[in-house]
Amino acid sequence: MLLAAMRDMQWRKRRFVIAVLSTAIIFAMTLVLTGLANGFRAEAQRTVDALGVDVFLVKDGASGPFVGATPFAPTDLGRIAASPGVQAAAPLVYAGGTVTLGDATRNADLFGAPERGPGMPVLSQGRPPANPDEAAVSSTLDRNEGEDIQIASRRLRIVGIVENSTALANLPNIFLTTQGAQQLVYGGQPLVASIGIQGTLDQVPPGYKAIDRDGAVADLLRPLKVAVNSITIVAILLWVVAALIVGSVIYLSALERLRDFAVYKAIGVPTGSIAAGLALQAVVVALSAVVVGVVLSALLGPIFPMQVIVPGYAYVILPVIAVVFGLIASGTGLHRAVSVDPAMAFGGP
């Protein structure tokens, strides 16, 4: 019966090709959306990792070192730096801002950290900023060393480039000295968003809260949470559409082949074999759509203005979910096929 199922697919190849392509486009969109959501997390993770900070100390009540930070004066910095297990501690500043590039203005993430860290990433070109008028920028800003950028009313000289450093949906990161960032963000007041620590902190000082890298990544992703949730909902809806396409194609196939199924039953073919043949069609459609969908997603990903980073597990889960969804969606068709009355084989055409 498996041969008969495959022959039927050849026989109705146009319909199955259309079904495969339609489902593949949906799978590709699902992969791209998954890649987008994962891209947000991946760039946030990359940014936090690049800072080289193991623990962020924030004031009690603050929800993170970035978006959820509460500015405070780093009066305890020296004491914290001298704590056991702490290799280095630095005052860090973070804020969202806009950068003017000629006639264009772009949103950007501003990070302030000492020249030698912690909090200053490794540069692919140039050197870290050493004074308040210098900055290192992400390569995605498309600017070179020696050029100037304007942030608020301040003109800064680019002295270094950080490779592909972005956060918050592909916004370029700009790194300044702590003082430079304080001048931009806090009007020159000696405030910080967090104290970045390399090493471990045995005991958190009273009035502070320690946040690890995962917590910092979650904080950086907080503004995108609604967007990620929306993407997830759309992805689920796309799964439903994909299941409906596979299910309706298999159901139509079952309806058109009722006479065939009745004949199979009448000549003694076991019902299980008939169902297996139809299920095979659902599996073949779903898996073919996965293959085409993966190729399409690779073509569609670069079109998006944000980072599409499809996680490896998605390529493993996609075919599994596709097959399971395909079989569930084909349930109606399968039921129709196995419940057909073999007496239907009798009578005229």
Partner 1 sequence: MGDLSIQDLVVEYSSGGYAVRPLDGFNLDVAAGSLVILLGPSGCGKTTLLSCLGGILKPTSGAIKFGEVDVTSLDAKALSEYRRETVGIVFQAFNLVPSLTALENVMVPLRSAGISRHAAREKAEQLLARVGLEDRTTHRPGDLSGGQQQRVAVARAIALDPPLIVADEPTAHLDFIQVEEVLRLIRELATGDRMVVVATHDSRILPLADRVVELVPDFAESNRPPATARLEAGEVLFEEGTMGDCIYVVSEGEVEIMRELAGGGEELLWVAEPGDYFGELGPLFHMPRSATARARSDATVIGYTVAAFRERLGAGGIRDLIQHRPLDMGDEPATAEPD
- Decide if residue 7 touches partner 1 (CB under 8 A): yes
Output the CA–CA distances (angstroms, integers) from residue 282 to 3, 4, 21, 132, 252, in the order listed.
Answer: 14, 14, 14, 63, 12
Whether 182 and 93 have beta carbons less than 8 Å apart is answered as yes
User: Please, which residue, 11 or 315, has the CB nearer to partner 1?
Assistant: 11
The one segment of 4-12, 81-89, 194-202, 292-300 that binds partner 1 by CB under 8 A: 4-12
- Decide if residue 79 touches partner 1 (CB under 8 A): no
- Decide if residue 82 touches partner 1 (CB under 8 A): no
User: Please, which residue, 312 or 347, has the CB nearer to partner 1?
Assistant: 347
Contact pick of 61, 206, 302, 347 for partner 1 (by CB under 8 A)? 347
User: Please, which residue, 218 or 337, has the CB nearer to partner 1?
Assistant: 337
DSSP 300: H
- Decide if residue 219 touches partner 1 (CB under 8 A): no
- Decide if residue 11 touches partner 1 (CB under 8 A): yes
Output the CA–CA distances (angstroms, integers) from residue 62 to 34, 80, 187, 211, 285, in the order listed.
Answer: 30, 18, 21, 10, 51
Write down the least CB distance from residue 216 to partner 1, Å: 60
**Cβ-based neighbours of 316, under 8 Å, separated by 6 or more:** none
User: Please, which residue, 26 or 337, has the CB nearer to partner 1?
Assistant: 337
In the range 84-143, which residues lie near partner 1 by CB under 8 A? none
d(CA 119, CA 134): 16
Contact pick of 84, 146, 268, 305 for partner 1 (by CB under 8 A)? 268
Count CB-CB contacts under 10 A for residue 188.
11
d(CA 307, CA 133): 30
- Decide if residue 345 touches partner 1 (CB under 8 A): yes
Specify the length of the chain in residues.
349
- Which residues here bind partner 1, judged by CB under 8 A? 1, 3-4, 7-8, 10-12, 259-260, 263-271, 273, 342-343, 345-349
